[in-house]
Structure 1
Amino acid sequence: MRIALFEPEIAGNVGAVLRLCACMGAAVDLIEPMGFAWDDRRVRRTAMDYIDHVSVTRHAGFDAFLETVGTARLVLFTTKTDTSAYGFAYRPDDILLFGKESAGVTPAVSKACHAHVRLPMRPEVRSMNLATSAALALGEALRQTGGLPG
């Protein structure tokens, strides 16, 4: 299973996702441009030494990323659907895609996805933190597919 971050803007969020994926055994795809320099010390500070235990692939853009997807499904986490992330049937090779913190994904990226799911939340709030969303999503997907580590 992989987590893909579309044009992430906040180094600390990326670091937290890297640490999450190191702990859970998932690979990370970073789709550029990013809103910070990759060598930003905030990424390493948040990810700590876990960054050495996760497979990270950077892609020059969404089209370059799509070339690596193969037969895997792109599952977009978005607030623009009614399909619950907890009622969706995940597959072990799914790629869980998250949009940029300020704006999500473009309509073209949304259209390229095989499924759109939403993390349920109270209606009076707009969205969750990117790293928190990734943790909830990855935990459920791995639980369903039997991929939770030890």
Structure 2
Amino acid sequence: MSGTERGGGSTVDAVRAWRGLAETSVLLDGFHALKHALRFGARVPVALTSDKAAVLALAEDLAPDVTRPLETLLAETDEATLRALVPRLHPTSVAALAVRPSRAAQLETLARLPRTAPVVVLDEPRNLGNAGAVIRLAAGFGATGVVTTGTLDPWHPTVVRGGAGLHFATAVERVDADRLPPGPLFALDAEGEDIRALKLPDDAVLAFGSERSGLSEGLRARAEHLVSLPMRPQVSSYNLATSVGMTLFHWASTSGRPPGTGA
């Protein structure tokens, strides 16, 4: 059931549905997360707000393309009930639950060749907010997807919050380090070749190390290319999301295609 298919239910029904789905669903925290999820085809069974008129006015101002779906989808409840369901309520006073895409479907997308945009690999990341920012960048550049190795769940609520609902605009999954998507592996490393001398292929797998430890030895050893970003001497590193953004910008600027346009 898509977000536009639900309607006519009472607030009581919507709150009951929320309580039944909360443990197994993806929390969309705030207007922008819900907006992006709807735009990119997420299945959204329930959305709640304490001020439906204000949310619809915001949609009309910032994203009129989702106004009509929101009119049908949103159920209004009182502030206390909403905060009981979503303790860390977004300032826009709206939250929704979405269905997480199946792992099989995500992995199929990531493994499909030929590929028209790179896959980003976060090798044993630790910071949830950074992971969310990377997913947002990947979606913006039209990357095929983002995979993580290690223990971090890329669909953790904090990661989804940082991604602003754009998990639904690209494939996102956790994989074992020895089961990365196919394609030539380019690993970002300070000792690598300057990225400005390279043209990254569309089917590249772009690997980035963790914020504290860098690339794992296993992944570094498997990389077909080590790549470095230009950096002023005595500066130790860039933020993870900054590194990903710089690398995807380099790919996009040399690929000859606007982001998200495909082949």
Task: Say whether 1:124 aligns with 2:234.
Answer: yes
Larger Rg: 2
Following the alignment from structure 1 to structure 2, what is the Cα–Cα distance between the partners of residues 87 and 5?
Answer: 23
Q: TM-score, normalised by structure 2?
A: 0.51
CA contact (8 A) 2:154 2:172 kept: no
Gaps of 5+ in 1: none
Query: How big is the shift at 1:47?
Result: 0.7
AA aligned opposite 1:122: R
Query: How big is the shift at 1:148?
Result: 2.9
Q: Which residue in 2 is equivalent to 1:23?
A: 140
Matches of residues 130-145 of structure 1 in structure 2 within 5 Å? 130-145=240-255
Q: What secondary structure, in the 3-state scheme, does the structure 1 residue paired with 2:174 have?
A: strand
CA contact (8 A) 1:16 1:131 kept: yes
Query: How big is the shift at 1:89?
Result: 2.0
Following the alignment from structure 2 to structure 1, what is the Cα–Cα distance between the partners of residues 188 and 148?
Answer: 15
Query: How big is the shift at 1:146?
Result: 2.1
Following the alignment from structure 2 to structure 1, what is the Cα–Cα distance between the partners of residues 257 and 244?
Answer: 16
Shift >6 Å, 4+ stretches:
none
Q: Deviations over 1:49-92 (max 9, x none)?
A: 22221211210x21122xx32xx1100011123x1111112111
Q: Structure 1 or 2: larger helix share?
A: 2
Q: Do the aligned partners of residues 108 and 147 (structure 1) sit closer, same or farther apart at CA in structure 2, a change above 3 Å counting?
A: same
Q: What secondary structure, in the 3-state scheme, does the structure 2 residue paired with 1:63 have?
A: coil
Q: TM-score, normalised by structure 1?
A: 0.87
CA contact (8 A) 1:73 1:95 kept: yes
Task: Say whether 1:4 aligns with 2:115.
Answer: no
Q: Which residue in 2 is equivalent to 1:56?
A: 172
Task: Say whether 1:41 aligns with 2:157.
Answer: yes
Gaps of 5+ in 2: 1-117
Query: How big is the shift at 1:4?
Result: 0.7
> What is the percent sequence identity of the aligned residues?
30
Q: How many residues align?
A: 142
Task: Say whether 1:90 aligns with 2:200.
Answer: yes
Query: How big is the shift at 1:38?
Result: 4.6
Q: Do the aligned partners of residues 147 and 30 (structure 1) sit closer, same or farther apart at CA in structure 2, a change above 3 Å counting?
A: farther
Following the alignment from structure 2 to structure 1, what is the Cα–Cα distance between the partners of residues 242 and 125?
Answer: 14
Q: Which residue in 1 is equivalent to 2:188?
A: 77
AA aligned opposite 1:9: R
Q: Deviations over 1:13-70 (max 9, x none)?
A: 1100111111111111111222xx55533212211122221211210x21122xx32x
